[in-house]
Amino acid sequence: MIVRAATRSAILLALAWTMPPLAAQAGGQEMAWQAGQDLIGKPAPPLVLKTIDGASIDLGRVYGKQAVYLKFWATWCVPCREQMPHFERAYESAGPDLAVIAIDTGFNDSLDEVLQYRERLHIKMPIVLDDGAAGAAFNLRVTPQHVVIGRDGRIQYVGHLADARLDAALLAARTGRADATSVAGASAAGAASTQGYPPVRVRYRPGDTLPKWTPTTIDGMRVPLADPDLRRPTLLIFLSPWCESYLATTRPALSQNCRLMRERVDALSAETSVRWLGIASGLWATETDLADYRKEHGVRMPLVLDASGRLFRAFEVMQVPTVLLIGPDGRLERRIDPKDFETAAALHAAVDTKP
């Protein structure tokens, strides 16, 4: 891939002010290392990935024959774009002992956006548009997130930076040399909590009765998704604390929808005949970021950080803002996607459905 330096610099300067709350390089690396704590040294999941061109990549058949380099990224992600030349070089220099695969997170991205991005930057390696399954399997927390799998099929490295540690991990994976955990340089932080709900095995759609999940808010309160008294409907607001600021340049329409959602929720949240609960994505966010978001905008509804992504996956939420209406009986009644959120009138209509 050849990207003119002047053009690339102009892009980065134009977008730099919109970096996520933890976009400092050290913060991103720490989050990636934390995400890797439950992964390093373990067998990699034998996923079957489908590229945007329709090809299938059966990782289970690759393990034992090649090392694997997965890069999780997004078209709206500034550091992803900044690191793309390194990633392209890794692909171009890969021999028969290394498979290099780009996995778009699918979060706030569409197939058309990925195709346009590939054409604009002349990306050549296989690209997968994730539906959340790969991100879940590899504890996705930041973009980019690099995952290196040895020829023995075990995960050797999880990181954020395109630096000497990543290069060393790639070399070790290809040659079988070096201790995986020493290459990873992982921190002592633990894996994300399940927050009161089990691993996702079923996807829930309108008409389904929901399990009695009780996620924990950033204030330490256990809050059932549905009204335990079977009296009030509940509105689940799926959000990201950096949507308004970070996407203002790269996804202005989506950024505006996030702002409209927040403003409409603020205006309606005094409506006590409806329960309100905000579910924030754990991608590029911590509880501290979510608390700062609440303070900055005066958000009054309880907020949950879905660090593991289990709730997002359970309801197949890949874009924010997304709103779900749960009836008093615990049944999922309505879904409001970003494309239906142009004026936020849909949220007002959902509130008006209260008994």
The CATH label, of 3.30.470.20, 3.60.15.10, 3.40.30.10, 3.40.50.10490, for the domain at 234-351 is 3.40.30.10
**Tens-place pLDDT, residues 271-318:** 788 999 999 999 999 999 999 999 999 999 999 999 989 999 999 999
**What residue spans define the domains of the chain?**
5-184, 234-351
Listed residue (264, 319, 276, 280) closest to 76, CA to CA: 319
Contact 184, 33 (CB under 8 A): yes
pLDDT greater than 90 at residue 190: no
Strands 98-104 and 332-336: unpaired
Residue 60, pLDDT score: 95
What number of CA atoms fall less than 13 Å from residue 175's CA on the CB side?
9
pLDDT tens, residue by residue, 310-333: 999 999 999 999 999 999 999 999
pLDDT at 16: 36
User: Which tens digit of pLDDT belongs to each residue from 61-100?
Assistant: 999 999 999 999 999 999 999 999 999 999 999 999 999 9
User: 327: Cβ–Cβ under 8 A, 6 or more apart, which residues?
Assistant: 226, 233, 333
Which backbone phi and psi does 216 adopt, to 5 degrees?
-105, 130
Mean pLDDT of the chain: 85
Mean pLDDT over 121-135 rounds to: 95
Position of tokens 């197949």? 316
Q: What is the pTM of this model?
A: 0.85
193 is written with which tokens? 């909590």
Span 72-81, pLDDT tens digits: 999 999 999 9
Rg (CA), the chain: 21
Q: CA-CA distance, 47 to 6, in Å (whole number)?
A: 39
For residue 26, the model assigns a pLDDT of 62
Q: In terms of CATH architecture, what is 5-184?
A: 3-Layer(aba) Sandwich (3.40)
- How would residue 193 be classed by pLDDT, with cut points 50, 70 and 90? very low
SS (H, E, C) 228-292: CCCCCCEEEEEECCCHHHHHHHHCHHHHHHHHHHHHHHHHHCCCCCCEEEEEEECCCCCHHHHHH
Q: Is the dihedral of CA 23, 27, 32, 34 positive or negative?
A: negative
Q: Are the folds of 5-184 and 234-351 the same?
A: yes
355 contacts 274 by C-beta, under 8 angstroms: no
**Whole-number pLDDT of residue 15:** 36
- What pLDDT is stored for residue 202 in this prediction? 73
